[in-house]
Structures are given as structure tokens and as C-alpha cells.
């Protein structure tokens, strides 16, 4: 509150009330107080009838202090200028600015002056601002006016408050053998009250398509892995998983997805006390794309399970990731368990920069269990350089007969 000659200045933060809580006191009937505590709780108007021992009541409590303001929430304040004198004042201009560590924002609904303010009348204004920075904020409220004697007066008041961080967000990237990228987002509630997580989504960059992996399909209906009531208690952590796959027009160009690539950003929406809404968007998430060297060899097709000593087909994709043309020769080297079927040392021809070719191959395994596909060698005849590819993928080898026959 500020008093300055003719005008009385009031600034109050607008927040939702809270549910009133009480501390029930109970005892057994054989104890000395008997049913005295029970009678007092039943007579207490703040308790729920029939459930007096619950801490939660039916009444609301108005805010008793300024409270905490968290990043992503909307800061609202009520500003009132009251003419406490017996004289009419003129040309009243009320201005509200919010000073942050990086900028100064004008929050006033109107920047025009009020012609006059009669005694016992007031000028009211409600300001709103979505908080987008953490740290110290200063609300600067200024009032200028002219008295009946023509004297111009000016005064202002500063209200300092801290904006806290509501969530701790950590991300991890996992690169699959294909071009798919898996993003794990760990979100922790670091406030002192529970949150209802309304939405946690990933907005991908223009290079990727995203699939959310946070639902379980049951009877043609997707249900959240966190249940129907998506509450996050204080200091609890929840993990969200997303699968990103490059769009076809980018996946075909080997030179594009190299080095640091932008994945996208997380959009988080939550609600707290009595539905107060908050929203955060992370900065653009980046990951370091794995390096494939001059030549990348990947598998477009491979079965999950194959029979022992029976040939099976795979399709390899060979991509030239260098900036020069290559003339490739394929050699297939058998291992103790993997045997290649076909001609080793055959010419694959020239492969220009950024181009790829699909190569069907036939393999058989002589050992049961989980076996690694290994033994491929690619030689660039221009530079006489050989590239070795082992542990390309795994396949489960089973015996099609009974255990005695195998």
C-alpha cells in the first residue's frame, strides 16, 4: 500500500483460493476425553459431515501471502488507485511495468490518462502476464496526476518477487540400428504441490515424424501407461518415450543427417490448485547423429527367427556417405556360425556420393541361439581401402526338429 497526498494506491496478487485443511484429533472411547474430540469435530463447520477425521474440508481459504510463482504460469495482479481526499484530481495515469533480468514489459491495459477522479472514487486495473523467465522479477507501478492547484505529482512503488522452476526436465537419446531415434524425457515435479499432467508432447522438427510410446492399446482404445488420473506428486519423476523417424525425403539423402541435428521441442501443460494452468516449452532439443564413415551398411530386411542350417534372405542397404565416387567390391567371409551363400569378390559397380544400393544376400547358420551377422567386407578399388562390417544385426536360430534330433 502507498499513500501519497490525495491518492491511495493498492496492489494485490490474484490467485485461486485453497481448500481448507484441519488437523483432526481423535482418541479411543475408553480414553479420558471419551467422545469429546468427536463432538468438537462434528460441531466444526469446516469439517465434512460424516468424514470429520479427514484433513480435507469443504471451505476455501483465501491466500494469506504472496505465494510462489512458477515458470510457465500466468501472473495476475489487481491494481487500484483510490482518491482518498476531498478534492478532484485530474489527468491520472497509472502504469505497470514488469522488469525481468533481460527485458522490461508494459502490462497496463491502457496507456491513456483518466481525465478526472472524484473523491472516494477509484481506478481499477487487472494485469496478466505469462511468466517465461526464472529469477528476480520487479513489478513497477507508477501513478502521475494533477491537483486542483495545477501541481503535477508523481510516485511509484516496487514489488519484488522470485519466479521458481516448477519442473526438472532431462532428456536422453538412443540411436537404433535403423535411422530411428528414441527420446526419453524424464520430468520431475520439484514444487511442493501435486500436478495434473494435462499434456506432454513432442513437436518434431521438419526432418522427423514422431510416434508417442506412452499409451497401451486395449480393445481399440489407447490408454495412458500412467493410468486414468495423471497426477505427479511432489518430487516424483515420470518418463515419457518417443520414437522419431526421418521423413523419406531426408532419409534418402545420406549427407543431410550428420553432426548435430535438431530433433524438436517438448510441450508440457499441467494444472495445479483448482485448475490453475501452466505451460512450458523446452528449447530445441539437439542430438549428435552417429558417424558412419565413408560407407554405411544397414539392413532393410532380416527375419527375427530362422531355422538351423536353412538358408534365409536378408537385404543390405549400402550408402555412400563420402563426397567422392566409389567403385565397390563385396567379399563375404564365413564365421564359426554364419555361412554366406553366393559368390564372394563380386563387383558392385560405381556408387556416387549420397547414393545407395540394395543388395539381397543369402545366409545360413550352423549354430543355434542368438547369432550375429558378420563377415562382410567392402573394398573401394579407387583408394584400395577395405571396410569391415561385423555384428551388423542379430538373428535367433532355432532347431525345427525335436531336441533329440538336433
Say yes or no: 176 and 207 in one domain. yes
Within this chain, do residues 129 and 223 fall inside the same structural domain, yes or no?
Answer: no
CA 165/CA 367 separation, integer angstroms: 56
pLDDT at residue 1, rounded to an integer: 45
For residue 374, how many C-alpha atoms fall within 13 Å in the half-sphere facing its CB? Answer: 9
In whole angstroms, give the CA distance from residue 395 to residue 406: 19
**pLDDT of 330:** 93
- Do 11 and 159 lie in one domain? The reply is yes
282 secondary structure, DSSP code:
P
State the DSSP code for 48.
B
Residue 171 has pLDDT above 90, yes or no: yes
314 and 240 in a common domain: no
Q: Are residues 273 and 299 in the same domain?
A: no
pLDDT at 405: 58
pLDDT-derived band of residue 59, with 50, 70 and 90 as boundaries? confident
How many structural domains is the chain composed of? 3
Confidence of residue 27 (pLDDT cuts 50, 70, 90): confident
Q: 279 and 392: one domain?
A: no
Task: Identify the band that residue 328 occupies on the pLDDT scale cut at 50, 70 and 90.
Answer: very high
DSSP assignment of 106-143 equals E--S--SPEEEE-TT-EEEEEEEEE----EEEEEEEEE
pLDDT band of residue 257 (cuts 50, 70, 90) is low
Find where cell 516424483 sits.
Answer: 236
**180 and 247 inside one domain:** yes
Using the 8-state DSSP alphabet, how is residue 273 labeled?
Answer: G
Kindly state whether residues 116 and 94 are assigned to the same domain.
Answer: yes
CA proximity to 339, closest of 387, 386, 405, 395: 395
229 in the same domain as 354: no
pTM above 0.75, yes or no: no
Q: What is the DSSP string of 306-336?
A: EETT--EEEEEEEEE-SSS-EEEEEEE---S
Based on the number of CB atoms within 10 Å of its own CB, is 108 exposed (0-12), middle (13-18) or buried (19 or more)?
Answer: middle
Q: Cα(284)–Cα(138) distance, rounded to whole angstroms?
A: 29
Using the structure block, give the residue that is written with the C-alpha cell 500500500.
1
pLDDT digits (tens, 9 = 90+) for 193-248: 889 999 999 999 888 899 998 888 766 677 788 877 788 999 999 999 999 888 88
Chain center to CA of 46: 39
Range of the domain at 158: 7-15+64-164
- What pLDDT sits at residue 203? 93
Distance of alpha carbon 153 from alpha carbon 406, whole angstroms: 101
Please state which of the ranges 68-72, 210-214, 238-242, 284-288 shows the lowest mean pLDDT.
Answer: 284-288
Mean pLDDT across 355-384 = 91
Per-residue pLDDT at 3 exceeds 50 = no
Which of 46-60, 80-94, 157-171, 314-328 has the lowest average pLDDT?
46-60
pLDDT digits (tens, 9 = 90+) for 379-399: 999 888 999 888 888 899 998
Nearest to 326 by CA among 271, 386, 376, 396: 386
Regarding whether 380 and 310 lie in a shared domain, the answer is yes
Amino acid at each position: 500500500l502507498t499513500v501519497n497526498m490525495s491518492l491511495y494506491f493498492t496492489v494485490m496478487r490474484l490467485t485461486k483460493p485453497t481448500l481448507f485443511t484441519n488437523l483432526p484429533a481423535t482418541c479411543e472411547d475408553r480414553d479420558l476425553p471419551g467422545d469429546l474430540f468427536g463432538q468438537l469435530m462434528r460441531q466444526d463447520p469446516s469439517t465434512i459431515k460424516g468424514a470429520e477425521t479427514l484433513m480435507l474440508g469443504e471451505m476455501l481459504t483465501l491466500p494469506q501471502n504472496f505465494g510462489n510463482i512458477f515458470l510457465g504460469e500466468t501472473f495476475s495482479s489487481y491494481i487500484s488507485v483510490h482518491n482518498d481526499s476531498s478534492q478532484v484530481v485530474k489527468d491520472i495515469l497509472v502504469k505497470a511495468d514488469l522488469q525481468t533480468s533481460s527485458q522490461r514489459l508494459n502490462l497496463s491495459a491502457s496507456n491513456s490518462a483518466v481525465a478526472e477522479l472524484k473523491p472516494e472514487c477509484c481506478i481499477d486495473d487487472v494485469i496478466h502476464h505469462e511468466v517465461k523467465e526464472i529469477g528476480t522479477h520487479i513489478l513497477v507501478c507508477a501513478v502521475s496526476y494533477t491537483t486542483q492547484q495545477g501541481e503535477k505529482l508523481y510516485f511509484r512503488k516496487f514489488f519484488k518477487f522470485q519466479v521458481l522452476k516448477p519442473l526438472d526436465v532431462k532428456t536422453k537419446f538412443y540411436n537404433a540400428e535403423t535411422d530411428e531415434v528414441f527420446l526419453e524425457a524424464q520430468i520431475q515435479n520439484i514444487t511442493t504441490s501435486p500436478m495434473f499432467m494435462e499434456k506432454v508432447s513432442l513437436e518434431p522438427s521438419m526432418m522427423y515424424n514422431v510416434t508417442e510410446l506412452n499409451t497401451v492399446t486395449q480393445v481399440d482404445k489407447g490408454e495412458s501407461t500412467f493410468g486414468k488420473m495423471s497426477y505427479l506428486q511432489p518430487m516424483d519423476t515420470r518418463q515419457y518415450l518417443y520414437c522419431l523417424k526421418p521423413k523419406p525425403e531426408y532419409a534418402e539423402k545420406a549427407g543431410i543427417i550428420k553432426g548435430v541435428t535438431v530433433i524438436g521441442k517438448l510441450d508440457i501443460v499441467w494444472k495445479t490448485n483448482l485448475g490453475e494452468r501452466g505451460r512450458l516449452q523446452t528449447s530445441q532439443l539437439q542430438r549428435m547423429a552417429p558417424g558412419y564413415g565413408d560407407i554405411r551398411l544397414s539392413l532393410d530386411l532380416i527375419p527375427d527367427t530362422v531355422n538351423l542350417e536353412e538358408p534365409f534372405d536378408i537385404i543390405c542397404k549400402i550408402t555412400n556417405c563420402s563426397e567422392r565416387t566409389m567403385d565397390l567390391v563385396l567379399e563375404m567371409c564365413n564365421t564359426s556360425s554364419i555361412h554366406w551363400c553366393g559368390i564372394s569378390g563380386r563387383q558392385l559397380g560405381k556408387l556416387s556420393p549420397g547414393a545407395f544400393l540394395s543388395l539381397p544376400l543369402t545366409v545360413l547358420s550352423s549354430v543355434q541361439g542368438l547369432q550375429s551377422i558378420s563377415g562382410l567386407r567392402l573394398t573401394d578399388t579407387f583408394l584400395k581401402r577395405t571396410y569391415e562390417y561385423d555384428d551388423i544385426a542379430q538373428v535367433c536360430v532355432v532347431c525345427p526338429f525335436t531336441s533329440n534330433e538336433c
